[in-house]
Structure 1
């Protein structure tokens, strides 16, 4: 046996454990309880075990990591898809062997992700694809386990609907969800985010320029950042009305002080030697600010922008609980949970999570383009 083969056999502990679980599932058949409405067809049963065992065996072979990962990905996901499809009409009827096979395929997916994370390429495009594939597989398996556990154990729909039901609700309610996104994100979140971050940045520059403002504002900023949103939101609704303006006001308050604190800290990040060099060039405050201190503060500023990208969405949704027109993500969540339409509530949560992730990703891309010189973006 070659050294490469021995290394593959030793490092693929997920494959060994997956193989053991598959054999244990074979020993504890059937996959569903005897009183299940429909049973797995013999060919489907054979495919489930053949694909899973093949994935485990392939993981031992001394093949290129990308080829191994691709083969394991196909085997474990085909096996899992057949397993999950067998639960249709048999919710709560899954037997021990079913969960053993889910665990076996999950271990194979783990092995697939481990192999992908070990691949090193010389292409930024290939690195980007790998950077997307790894979290995509990881996230997909969170949904698969959620689906298998809720349907396999027969968890009541009102407590935790499976992802498939949430997906169907999203597909059937696209017009409603789009109207809520327009009201909450395109109006309240964006307006409040721009106002809050912009005001925080301007005030931070003023506080840096005038010492008395810095000494007076920072303690107040720390105090205001601790204000509970559920206390501020009703007041903003009374001041600015029930439409999106009151929610934008809440978002402005929530995003102002993180930007203020981070920008003030960032303006102090430049080193003493750099400042002395600027003074030796007879640079005034404005020149030092624009050419040295603001560029050095950019990582801090973008840190605040990324924090605020999630805070803004949370603030707008919570503010809508206290008064809004009959549209908006917070309004929809509060009304649909009262009607026990839990799948619609989770659909709104999923859309909000997706929108927040996209918002954060846009800010992160802007940070990479702006602070390309920083060690975190140079791999240093």
Structure 2
């Protein structure tokens, strides 16, 4: 009665073939390839067959989708168990495994929203969101420039540099450390919804007020992590530096700052997501007619939910890239740390 039921035999055949192959003694990589092809081909046929008949799926549709997902899960488990000797293969697996996992989030999302006929206004399928992104690139580009390249990056750099500088000062002057950190913990607990309108009143409706919110959100994580990192070097190492008649600044540069690098990069990674969240939320409280937060709040009022999800998807992608760049720099700088040497 439904289009996907006409291909039910092919779908079941693909799933059974992949399941049988997983029971035979084969090389893990070949088994993973067969599972990958079978699971994804079956899912594609299911989604293609339900197109035009949204909301009419019966129990077999969802059972076949679950079977395909289990085979994909087995594929990911096999790939995770591989221990290749070549660095190229190891790096490829680090990309392939999360890519398959993420792809299946989108596949299940697409299949369930179409099969169950979930109203578009509640949850549009990923294909509709992707189409909206493709058709709205100029708008999304201007929003990214306003929010990320102005508010986020400028606030991120200023907030982290200020937090780092004050942490060095607090480490040098003990009474600052004892007095500043408790205040920092209190200020870091301030709700962004309360801070953002105040920053708009102080700095205006353009990006400087959003950058000010980002500075507040990123300052104290960097301050607290840097102070903790500067205290992480061992007593034996410090005693050794003292035997060389090393003063405060040589000890700081040669011993304590390198030991604090994992803490500092931990703050940088945390702040890479906090900065984006802070800028977008701040744009809800007054902004020019451009920006990711402005677009989300405006399109929600217009019931253009696919555009809202398009902005969310772009923000998630930008945040992931931002975090990934910081993580790559961390691996290059802290190559000596056991967590990096261990892979």
TMscore range, shorter length: over 0.9
Q: Does 1:227 align with 2:190?
A: yes
Contact 2:79–2:97 (Cα < 8 Å) also in 1: yes
Alpha-carbon separation, structure 2, partners of 1:128 and 1:332: 37
Q: Does 1:238 align with 2:229?
A: no
Q: How does 1:1-380 map to 2 (within 5 A)?
A: 34=1, 39-40=3-4, 42=6, 44-379=7-342
Measure how far apart 1:79 and its partner are.
Answer: 1.2
Alpha-carbon separation, structure 1, partners of 2:133 and 2:258: 43
Change (3 A) 1:41 1:108: closer
Q: SS at the partner of 2:264? A: helix
Q: How high is the TM-score relative to the length of structure 2?
A: 0.98
Contact 2:4–2:50 (Cα < 8 Å) also in 1: no
Contact 2:4–2:48 (Cα < 8 Å) also in 1: no
Q: SS at the partner of 1:86? A: helix
Alpha-carbon separation, structure 2, partners of 1:72 and 1:250: 48
Alpha-carbon separation, structure 2, partners of 1:123 and 1:239: 56
Give the gaps of 5 or more residues in structure 1: 1-33
Q: SS at the partner of 1:93? A: coil
Deviations 1:60-105 (A, max 9, x none): 1111111110111011111110110011111100011111100010
Alpha-carbon separation, structure 2, partners of 1:80 and 1:226: 45
Q: SS at the partner of 1:101? A: helix
Give the gaps of 5 or more residues in structure 2: none
Q: SS at the partner of 1:158? A: coil
Q: How high is the TM-score relative to the length of structure 1?
A: 0.89
Alpha-carbon separation, structure 2, partners of 1:154 and 1:369: 48
Deviations 1:185-230 (A, max 9, x none): 0000000000000000000000000111111111110011001101
Measure how far apart 1:52 and its partner are.
Answer: 1.2
Contact 2:15–2:38 (Cα < 8 Å) also in 1: yes
> Which residue of the partner structure matches residue 12 of structure 1?
none
Measure how far apart 1:47 and its partner are.
Answer: 2.0
Alpha-carbon separation, structure 2, partners of 1:317 and 1:95: 40
> Which residue of the partner structure matches residue 21 of structure 1?
none
The count of aligned residue pairs is 343
Alpha-carbon separation, structure 1, partners of 2:176 and 2:89: 49
- Moved >3 Å (runs of 4+): none
Measure how far apart 1:41 and its partner are.
Answer: 7.3
Alpha-carbon separation, structure 2, partners of 1:87 and 1:328: 36
